Structure 1
């Protein structure tokens, strides 16, 4: 059974096998609820979300957040440290400057990096500088992982969750995987079992070096993919791959991931 809903700024698809129809419907509905909660907690656009409250107040006082938000922020801090700043979720200022994100009530925001974020044991967040956090480069992967966890808790043993190219497969059956290469469409990349893959492009990534103003004919037309045990890792590490251009970057081995860059003929470089 396969179901799809518009969430996280994309179409999220959930497919399950080996479960009775009624049980599958219930399991899929709960999995979508998990994805919806991630969206509500971590939306940059919603002033009342955890991220909205952090960006508006945490430079003045600590802001308490949901356990899921705290977990994603801890992952973001780990990726930021391991990549020497290549992975950075404190890119709100740059995205607002380029009018890629709204700046409502955020005139105070300044340029900075994720080192300004402090997360306490009680899940309160404070900012040492008035940066703006955007979890667009990590939350989608986490949402996929939460959906898979929900399906597993419901007794599902074989499933696929796909959120706009952030994909995780659960089960002992090899699943064919396709990568979207800019200008070439979907090309087969291999088989995946009990793992995750995420793919990004250079014009979809913002980090330490900023982002292109807009994709054009001179833009990098390659696809940057990472395979990892979890989708939060795969999703996040694609940003490091795009900026470093190095499938052998030490971050991939550290987090149990494999990276490859796909061109027009889908030549791959394995970490």
Structure 2
């Protein structure tokens, strides 16, 4: 049987109000929340004769949270949970075809989001600055800070991905558009009860034009956007899809597919899970 603790106030012997005492987690307070994407443009690296590398600006989020005293022998963790909602990642090779990194379940609409955890500490994005654990009981409230950052730093082959290192460079352009949802969350490690504190939407887009006939170091040119749109902190929290809290994470689930202009698609890299 669950007990309901009531707070009763009286005036001149008459009951004025009867209301439940706030639950513990309702006293969590987000004192400060900052999120942004760095204003610098994507950096292109042509130092390798095998692959083109690029590094996008960082998405960053930092929150300061006040946790009330934990009166029971409970463990609470405050941290970041992130999921990928969209991944369009295409590498064009002239008239030969297109390679693409894909998340099959997300691509086919079977799921709406996939975990972007570090692949070890589910459901958390990371286990250093990204989370803070409080072991009860505690006598005083705790003010904590959790922070995270994320960016893309891939390598794209100059030649079609089914070729050899001696194949001619044919890469002609790169197009990428990804969307993420990031939640600031408090979780009771004993009961798995999860409390959403804040929800953030952010997006990273990229377009690179490539002329593989030019000398190495002069082939690639960054197109729009030179500056990414800034993240949005939602006025109303969004629920976390259940599959965004468990395996597999996006990095392990993605596949690289070669889609030639003529012939059938070829899976170049299989998912890890």
Check whether TM > 0.5: no
Normalised by the shorter chain, which TM-score bucket?
under 0.3
> Quick check: which has more Rg, 1 or 2?
2
Q: Which has the higher contact order (CA 8 A, sep 6+)?
A: 2
* TM-score, normalising length: structure 1: 0.23
Structure ranking higher in helix proportion: 1
